A = this chain, B = another copy of it.
Amino acid sequence: MAVQHRVRDLSLAPAGRHQIRLAEHEMPGLMALRERYTASQPLAGARIAGSIHMTVQTAVLIETLVALGAEVRWASCNIFSTDDAAAAAVVVGPSEQGGTPEDPRGVPVFAWKGETLEEYWECTDQIFRWDGVDGPNMILDDGGDATLLVHKGVEFEAAGAVPSAGEDDSEEYRVILETLRRSVAEDGQRFTRMAPGIKGVTEETTTGVHRLYEMQRAGTLLFPAMNVNDAVTKSKFDNTYGCRHSLVDGLNRATDVLIGGKTAVVCGYGDVGKGSAESLRGQGARVLVTEVDPICALQAAMDGYQVVRLEDVLDQAHIVITTTGCKDVITAEHLQGLRDKAIVGNIGHFDNEIDMAGLARVPGVQRTEIKPQVHEWTFPDGHSIIILSEGRLLNLGNATGHPSFVMSNSFSDQTIAQIELFTKPDEYPTGVHLLPKHLDEEVARLHLDALGAKLTELTKSQAEYLGVDVAGPYKPDHYKY
């Protein structure tokens, strides 16, 4: 029988419930979906294995999926990102269900802040264990770990054995192999039976989407996948507007340093970089941009930013932020060349945007904790720099991540994508699909009222003139917004 939940402390549930209630107000998209679909229960029969940061916003997503008829099991997709109160509240369930810490009636969650890697993969494994059935029939994923487990499980079960980790394999991959080795030992056909029943996965992020396209190209993808990441209401909103909000928030909470008047370098002018540059300019900083892509570089110039190479402005930069998704964007050499007390942070992606390993290898460098997630690294010549969140995402480490309203967009995309894949299997064969544009537009539409925005309606004659339907979609697929 499947374990029913594993969180830090169920007594935190009331505090979490309070925050969930406030977040619901800032997530009009999800609340509108509840209102629209509670009667018809489009997810009735869906068994969703979910793997996304177990935050307050995710709690609202989970309870929306349940309100639409789904059964759900949940793990976090990051060892640090769980809000223990939110997790507890989800397990206990909404008050109208009468759950209590002693008698929880909510959703099984397997997540707490500060898991070990072993615990993390055990938790992920748990979302695939359902009482009385072979597993979930839907996956909701962020980064692709849940999807990976199924694919690797099927692969190794077919091979009859889980291989040993190679010399170059990461610590995490060893843990994954170990997890699967236990699974195979217990039941050598578990994922093999499960995979055909999975109607699809909806994937939240660039990284996860990248893995999906690779599997599609390699012909190994086992079920349909919806690329939620590239919905406009996700990529442009989460990345640009979310980071515009959380970059200054993270800088302020971490350092209390005045941003106005400072010289800030934003490495990368993609969606995240655009929001970051606007965030800093809005506070009165002088913003410089580095870019490798000439189109984005030209956009930065046309938006009034000086486009430079990082190595040319090390002595001017008070603040350097990476937003790229690339590695070694700030090298150890760059770091040593920065002016005294320069602040360095990453709002881009993995923690290798800043070469933290290289920094740690600089002879004589000393690391001092100023406060949690804020460290001063002092070089032998006495000058020092401030590194935020040890090079990991500063908006998560130094602030509280994306605000609810932004997440309401991407989580509405997720919910709608789940409905699509679950209810229209014929329209989505195995492969990676973009969210249809009319659904992307629908998610935007659900968020206008809360902002007081009034949409104009096309007349029938105007729609005909444009060659579109009155109800949309309004733009060709290659439109760039």
Q: Is A228 an interface residue (CB 8 A)?
A: no
The listed residue (B235, B308, B453) touching A301 by CB distance below 8 A is B453
Q: Is A181 an interface residue (CB 8 A)?
A: no
Binds B, one of A139-147, A150-158, A290-298, A415-423: A290-298
Nearest to A249 among chain B residues (CB) is B252
Do B233 and A298 touch (CB < 8 A)? yes
Q: Is A286 an interface residue (CB 8 A)?
A: yes
Do A453 and B22 touch (CB < 8 A)? no
Q: Which of A339-393 contact B (CB under 8 A)?
A: 340-341, 370, 376
A269-301 interface mask toward B, CB cutoff 8 Å, 1 = contact, 0 = none?
Answer: 001000000110111111100111111111111
Which chain B residues lie closer than 8 Å to A297 at the CB level?
444, 448, 453, 455
Do A456 and B286 touch (CB < 8 A)? no
The listed residue (B262, B287, B472) touching A451 by CB distance below 8 A is B262
The listed residue (B241, B376, B453, B472) touching A258 by CB distance below 8 A is B241
Q: Is A237 an interface residue (CB 8 A)?
A: yes
The 7 closest A-B pairs by CB, nearest first: A282-B282, A307-B453, A258-B403, A294-B445, A294-B444, A258-B405, A293-B474
Q: Is A309 an interface residue (CB 8 A)?
A: yes
Total copies of this chain within the assembly: 4
Size bin of chain A's contact surface: 35 or more
Interface centre among A242, A301, A403 (most CB of B within 10 A): A301
Interface centre among A26, A447, A456 (most CB of B within 10 A): A456
Q: Is A84 an interface residue (CB 8 A)?
A: no
User: Within the assembled complex, what's the spacing in Å between the Cα atoms of A294 and B454?
Assistant: 9
Do B256 and A404 touch (CB < 8 A)? yes
Which chain B residues lie closer than 8 Å to A399 at the CB level?
252
Do A286 and B304 touch (CB < 8 A)? yes
Do A462 and B327 touch (CB < 8 A)? yes
User: Within the assembled complex, what's the spacing in Å between the Cα atoms of A298 and B455?
Assistant: 9
User: In the assembled complex, how far is the CB of residue A369 from the closest CB belonging to chain B, in whole angstroms?
Assistant: 10
Do A480 and B295 touch (CB < 8 A)? no
Which chain B residues lie closer than 8 Å to A260 at the CB level?
241, 244-245, 302, 304
Given pairs A235-B480, A257-B404, 11 additional interface contacts (CB within 8 A): A22-B341, A25-B340, A241-B261, A241-B284, A256-B400, A261-B301, A286-B301, A292-B474, A294-B442, A298-B447, A316-B452
Do A294 and B448 touch (CB < 8 A)? yes
